[in-house]
Structure 1
Amino acid sequence: MSNPHPEFRLRLPDGGPVARGRLLDEKGVNGSQKFVLLAGSPIRRDVVPSFEKRAASAHRFRQKLIDDGLIAESATFPGYLEATEDIPCGSPSSAAAIVLGRNSSGWTDWKDDSEHPLGDFVDQAGWGPSRTWLVRGPHLVGIDTVKDLWLSGGWVSLAVERLREGIEPGMSKNRIRSLVEENYESATHTQRVRLVDDFHFFLSRMKLGDTVCTTSNGLLYVGEITGTVERFVSEGGRSYLRRPVEWQSIGYPYDELPDEIHQSLSGQHIVIDITSFQALVAGLGRSDEELADAVRDTTGDPSVEIAALAARREVELPEPTEELAEKLLAHDVEWLCEVRDLLSDEQQLIFYGPPGTGKTYLALELAKFFGGGPEQVKLVQFHPSYAYEDFFEGFRPQEDLVSREVAFRLTAGPLRELADLASREGNRNIPHFLLIDEINRANLAKVFGELYFLLEYRKQSVRLTYSGDDFALPRNLFVIGTMNTADRSIALVDAAMRRRFAFVELSPRIEPTSGLLRRWLEREKRDTEPADLLDALNSRIVDPDFRVGPSYLMKKGVYREGGLERTWRTKILPLLEEHHYGEGVNVEQRYGLRSLRAVIATSPEAGEPDLS
């Protein structure tokens, strides 16, 4: 009987010759569909350095074929090897790996004459772009499921003991939900929701060619799904859904994995779609050169963006420039570089100081510079009634646009929105900034909730209070807060929060704030008297938390007719009246313009305290 499948082709790298093969209906011992590499097919002479470790079985099979003479020097294709006769292989991926000398997904790399991938010709549910999954092995007494069963047997499984017969690949999520509701009555609502997701992923979303990961004893193992799902009953009577998998030969230690994969591993679901980290998984065990070669093999275009290379790059904040220092009127670039280094190391930073020291302005400008524009910056302002539901997620009343009925729906807050944006494919190497103005005015433990933990442990994830999702803070999300020390002392911020943030003081007594007004006046070509007055004023204020910042005097209105007197009377003196409330201090006499101008006129040392 003739083979019903068409002939498939695989072009070798750099515009090389084309190998040929056919899919077989026969299946291997683990359920994977076999593939035959046709005689005369060219084969790459060299293999990539990681091939022996990542695909030991394919590497051994290739070497045995060479030793047995089934692969030999090619007379037709100089510089290549050649299949001397038809070679049956355990799967399309195994055949592609032999031809290319590296790991390969045969379901997408083998194509017909019209460039349609091999996977299009196999009956299965949900064919489409390949995805990456994490499946956790069950804990059985005395058995390491992953090593003793999955890796050695070449499959992955999911327990379905209480599901009735008749479940099928490709079933809709709604049908699966009905079965779970019927067969798992004693489970809690949350447990049933998770079971529906797990069964739907395993039955209907997974497909040939998808990548699957699992963990055992501190190692991450990676493989490729090579067959359709089937129901299997073990010798002990346990019922499973099972899929054949071609596992790589090595495991990757946890401490060598990227942060994003760490975050996925700390979640609680059994089956997790980690396609957003597909490029990171693809890069495990490969050098940058191998990844570049793999892209050239697939696309033939070396200019194509290499997702795996981009994903493994560290998030870098740009170096501050002289132009930035001039724009911000910083006293030198080194101070800005120190702020950059603190953000790079800690990822959370707070500017603190008296009012008017430019904390919010500086935070905004630095965030836009480091993030590459305002699109990556979101600002929120804390206040005493601000809550977790406002900040992260919670149920809020919303009107249905059709029925006009109002119902409570789970709504994302600014942190959740920014985190989702920062974690999207293509955004992970772009810094994103959340600015929290007046961070110490809210009840921080109430606002942050379980997110407190994530600020310190970025590699971990937590189960969210409302949605129940596993959530982690992206590595490219930075937090900058501002704190007005005249509103509430920094000492009132609890130790847990102080441990999670770096603190940078902005105060009239130190740079870059102390000389900021004078530098601004010089740039604006204005008289420096306001700077002299401010220095004299602050020299008379003993408590550094209540000294006055320069931003009150860096506005155009101050320099209109009578503007300085008006600003001093309506902005600055009221601050000091509140500070000295109940002390019997004559604020006008001590801090008024007439008094300060007299000091400046009679003494060159305007900065000396005059507390009489």
Structure 2
Amino acid sequence: MSEFSEVAKNSIVSNIEDIKQRLGLEDQVANVMQSNNDAQIKHKNCMEIQRIPRSCCIHPLNFIIYGAPGTGKTYNTAEYALAIINNREPDLLKKTDTERRKILSEYKKYIQKGQIVFTTFHQNYGYEEFIQGLRPDPDKDGISFKTVDGVFKKLADKAILDNDNNYVIIIDEINRANISKVFGELITLIEEDKRWGELNESCATLQSGDVFAVPNNLYIVGTMNSADKSISLIDAALRRRFSFIEQKPDESLIEDDVLKNVFCELNTRLVSELDSTDLLIGHSYFMNRKKEDLCKILNTSIIPLLYEYFYDNRKKVSNILAEAIKNTDVEIVDDKIGRLNVRNKG
């Protein structure tokens, strides 16, 4: 194809400039370029910060509390967080209402101070929300973006400057997101010996130009429902960097003897049938309840869970249920149309 003449070239350039002016693209492009330039100027750098190795190693820096639904994983994160903040062992014994209120009052105090942060992972949770990403800048005209730090980076940047206090991020349902994608560079930086202040301290340069490190006073506490995904299915590289604490079903927390017997029989049968401790029933379904509540507990919470565990196998659900309630005043109702349910005899 022959080259354009000078007249044609000038005409094309003129038309392009006219279109840009009509659409207001000149200012928008300029804003984008200015936004990028601003971001390049304001880099954060951890290299000049000095920290010493941690001396109190009661808790692992990264750990996940896992267990069956209803075992109190999220409930206990407040106590774990306070134990980390105060450098003590966690007290997981049953608490009175007064004792629980005291724990939550102290927990909320540290949230307000910014030493504890709580977040929940989900399928759409990403690197941008956790570490850093670009967000539209509403303060500028046209198309403009700015770099925004995520919840973890904000906490890490605060913790690295504080040599006197511990910080905790609680990640509820940690296995519900694509963990490797969300953590990004943290896969390396969260290792205990690579935390900033330790012997092999490491840092990473983010896409914004910030030089980022995870300090050795920032603890990551995750919770994981073992019914959703077995530990063995978690990314091997990430699993190696976390300690795992099992939260087991605890019959001692159930006061009513009838409910306690049903609870124990259900879990005994489930372990026998499924040959797994991932799919059990937690004690919270039966706590602070009486035998008069048994039908409601089974119909609204336990039976739906059993159908999930047995992939809607009606016969297996019926067998487990029959064994669990055989010494109670409750019977199974099978109307052949809906799911199984129970009612009081007579």
TM-score (norm 2): 0.66
Q: Kindly indicate whether the alpha-carbon contact (under 8 Å) linking 1:573 and 1:588 is maintained by their aligned counterparts in 2.
A: no
Task: Go from structure 1 to structure 2 and tell me whether the alpha carbon gap of 1:313 and 1:392 turns closer, same or farther (over 3 Å shift).
Answer: closer
1:572 match = 302
Matches within 5 A, 1:292-311: none
Return the alpha-carbon distance in structure 2 between the equivalents of residues 600 and 564 of structure 1: 9
Amino acid at match of 2:310: H
Amino acid at match of 1:528: D
Is the aligned partner of 1:418 residue 2:155?
yes
Large movers: runs of 4+ above 4 Å: 403-406
State the 1:507 CA deviation.
2.4
Secondary structure of the structure 1 residue equivalent to 2:123: coil
Amino acid at match of 2:128: E
Matches within 5 A, 1:175-574: 264=47, 274=48, 276-277=49-50, 314=54, 316=56, 341=58, 343=59, 346-372=60-86, 373-374=106-107, 375=110, 376-400=115-139, 407-424=144-161, 427-456=162-191, 457-458=194-195, 459-465=201-207, 467-508=208-249, 514-518=250-254, 521=255, 527-542=256-271, 543-554=276-287, 556=288, 558-559=289-290, 562-574=292-304
Task: Go from structure 1 to structure 2 and tell me whether the alpha carbon gap of 1:584 and 1:598 turns closer, same or farther (over 3 Å shift).
Answer: closer
Task: Go from structure 1 to structure 2 and tell me whether the alpha carbon gap of 1:349 and 1:568 turns closer, same or farther (over 3 Å shift).
Answer: same
Amino acid at match of 1:517: L
Task: Go from structure 1 to structure 2 and tell me whether the alpha carbon gap of 1:423 and 1:516 turns closer, same or farther (over 3 Å shift).
Answer: farther
CA distances 1:334-370 after superposition (whole Å, capped 9, x unpaired): xxxxxxx3x2xx4101111111111111122210232
Amino acid at match of 2:315: V
Task: Go from structure 1 to structure 2 and tell me whether the alpha carbon gap of 1:361 and 1:406 turns closer, same or farther (over 3 Å shift).
Answer: farther
Q: Kindly indicate whether the alpha-carbon contact (under 8 Å) linking 2:307 and 2:313 is maintained by their aligned counterparts in 1.
A: no
Return the alpha-carbon distance in structure 2 between the equivalents of residues 444 and 409 of structure 1: 25
Task: Go from structure 1 to structure 2 and tell me whether the alpha carbon gap of 1:564 and 1:441 turns closer, same or farther (over 3 Å shift).
Answer: same
Structure whose residues are more often strand by fraction:
1
Amino acid at match of 1:535: C
Task: Go from structure 1 to structure 2 and tell me whether the alpha carbon gap of 1:600 and 1:540 turns closer, same or farther (over 3 Å shift).
Answer: farther
State the 1:572 CA deviation.
1.2
Return the alpha-carbon distance in structure 2 between the equivalents of residues 366 and 470 of structure 1: 30
Percent identity of equivalent pairs: 37
Q: Kindly indicate whether the alpha-carbon contact (under 8 Å) linking 1:315 and 1:429 is maintained by their aligned counterparts in 2.
A: no
TM-score (norm 1): 0.39
Task: Go from structure 1 to structure 2 and tell me whether the alpha carbon gap of 1:469 and 1:516 turns closer, same or farther (over 3 Å shift).
Answer: farther
Q: Kindly indicate whether the alpha-carbon contact (under 8 Å) linking 2:251 and 2:264 is maintained by their aligned counterparts in 1.
A: no
Q: Kindly indicate whether the alpha-carbon contact (under 8 Å) linking 1:440 and 1:488 is maintained by their aligned counterparts in 2.
A: yes
CA distances 1:244-265 after superposition (whole Å, capped 9, x unpaired): xxxxxxxxxxxxxxxx9xx72x
Q: Kindly indicate whether the alpha-carbon contact (under 8 Å) linking 1:431 and 1:477 is maintained by their aligned counterparts in 2.
A: yes
1:583 match = 313
Task: Go from structure 1 to structure 2 and tell me whether the alpha carbon gap of 1:429 and 1:564 turns closer, same or farther (over 3 Å shift).
Answer: farther
CA distances 1:518-569 after superposition (whole Å, capped 9, x unpaired): 4xx3xxxxx3322222111101103311110111222x5x44x953321221
Return the alpha-carbon distance in structure 2 between the equivalents of residues 437 and 516 of structure 1: 25
Q: Kindly indicate whether the alpha-carbon contact (under 8 Å) linking 2:171 and 2:222 is maintained by their aligned counterparts in 1.
A: yes
Matches within 5 A, 1:102-117: none
Return the alpha-carbon distance in structure 1 between the equivalents of residues 143 and 253 of structure 2: 52
State the 1:516 CA deviation.
4.2
For structure 1, list consecutive stretches of 5 or more residues without a partner in the other structure: 1-188, 198-259, 265-273, 281-311, 318-340, 509-513, 522-526, 602-612
Return the alpha-carbon distance in structure 2 between the equivalents of residues 370 and 455 of structure 1: 17
Secondary structure of the structure 1 residue equivalent to 2:245: strand
2:25 match = none
Amino acid at match of 2:326: A
Secondary structure of the structure 1 residue equivalent to 2:152: helix
Structure whose residues are more often helix by fraction:
2
State the 1:596 CA deviation.
2.5
Amino acid at match of 2:223: T
Task: Go from structure 1 to structure 2 and tell me whether the alpha carbon gap of 1:553 and 1:582 turns closer, same or farther (over 3 Å shift).
Answer: closer
State the 1:405 CA deviation.
6.4
CA distances 1:106-127 after superposition (whole Å, capped 9, x unpaired): xxxxxxxxxxxxxxxxxxxxxx
Secondary structure of the structure 2 residue equivalent to 1:540: helix
State the structure with bigger RCO (CA 8 A, min sep 6), 1 or 2: 2
Amino acid at match of 1:461: C
Q: Kindly indicate whether the alpha-carbon contact (under 8 Å) linking 1:532 and 1:600 is maintained by their aligned counterparts in 2.
A: no
